[in-house]
Chain A
Amino acid sequence: MSPVFAMLAAMTLASAIAAMSFRKLVHSALSMILTFSGLASIYLHLNAQFVGLVQVLVYVGAVAILVVFAILLTRDSTRDSSVRSLAQSWLTGLLVAGAVFGTLATAIIGSRALDRALPQAAEITVKKIGEQLMTRYIIPLEVIALLLTAAMIGAVIIAMREKERK
C-alpha cells in the first residue's frame, strides 16, 4: 500500500465518518467537503486528472453550496439535534450497513479476478475526452443535457414558494 493512498484514504474515511456522526448540520457539511476533496485527490492519484477536477468543481463547488443553502433554509437544528438525532431504528440501520460491508469485503478479498498488476498509465488528455464525448458518447451527452435542464427546472418549480391557500 502506497503511503500516499494510505494517508488520503484515512483522511477521507475519517471525514466521512465525522460527516455522518456530527450533531450540527454545518459541521457535517464541512466534513462532507473534506471527504469529497479527499476523493478528488484519490482520483488524481489514480491518474484520472479530469475526473478529479470535475469532482472538485461539481461536488466541492456546487453540491456543497447547495447543501449549505438547504441547511440555511431549513433551520430546525436547534429543536431537533438537542433531543435525538438518530432514527428510531438506528441499531438495525447500523447492522444492515455492517452486513453490507461484510458481504462486499468477503467478495472482494475472495475474488481472484482482481489479482492484476498495475498497467502502464495511459496518456489521458482532455482533448481525447472531448473527442470521445463528441463522437462515441454524443447521444448520452445530449440525454444528460436534457436531464440536467429538466432537473434544474423541476428543482426550481418544487422549491418555489406556493401561493397562500384561501
Chain B
Amino acid sequence: MNSLHQYLLFSALLFSVGLAGALTRRNAILVLIGVELMLNAANLNFIAFWRYGPNPEALTGIMFVIFSIAIAAAEAAVGLALIISIYRHYKTTNVDEVNELKG
C-alpha cells in the first residue's frame, strides 16, 4: 500500500465519521459540523490526487479546493442562520422535533 492509498483511506474514514455524526446526532449544529467534516474529507481527496497526479503544474486540484472552501463558507453561514431562525420559531435545535412537514 503506497501513500496515495493511505491519504484516500484516511479521507474515507473522516467522511464516514462526519456521516455518522450527521446521521446520529440530534442537534442541528452538530449535524452541520458533520457535513463540514465530510466536505473537508472531499477536499483532502482533491489535494492528494493533485499531489500524486501527473501534471501538478496545472493547479486544478488546488483551484477546486479553494472554490470548494469558499462555497463551504457560504453554506456554513446560511446553515447557521437557518438554525438560529429555527431556534427562534421552535425554541429547539433538535432536528427530530422539527417535523411539521412530516406526512
A97 touches B20 (CB 8 A): yes
Chain B residue nearest to A86 (CB atoms) is: B24
Q: How far is the CB of B77 from chain A (nearest CB, A)?
A: 4
Question: A108 and B95 in contact (CB under 8 A), knowing A46-B51, A51-B66, A94-B20?
Answer: no
Number of interface residues of B (CB under 8 A): 75
* CB < 8 Å neighbour of A66 from B7, B65, B80: B80
The residues of B that contact A54 with a CB separation of less than 8 Å are 66, 69
With an 8 Å Cβ cutoff, the count of chain A residues facing the other chain is 88
Name the residue of chain A whose CB is nearest to the CB of B40: A39
CB contacts under 8 Å to B, within A40-93, are 42-43, 46-48, 50-51, 54-55, 58-59, 62-63, 66-67, 69-71, 73-74, 76-77, 80-81, 84-90, 92-93
Instruction: Say yes or no for B4: interface residue by CB 8 A criterion.
Output: yes
Task: Find out whether the CB atom of B3 lies under 8 angstroms from the CB atom of A2.
Answer: yes
Residues of B within 8 A of A (CB): 1-10, 12-21, 23-27, 29-30, 32-34, 36-37, 40, 43-44, 47-48, 50-54, 56-57, 59, 61-63, 65-67, 69-78, 80-85, 87-88, 91-96
Q: Give 17 A-B pairs besides A25-B30, A132-B59, A137-B63 with Cβ atoms closer than 8 angstroms.
A: A19-B37, A20-B17, A20-B30, A39-B40, A46-B47, A48-B51, A59-B69, A70-B29, A74-B87, A90-B23, A94-B23, A104-B16, A116-B52, A119-B53, A119-B54, A124-B62, A155-B78
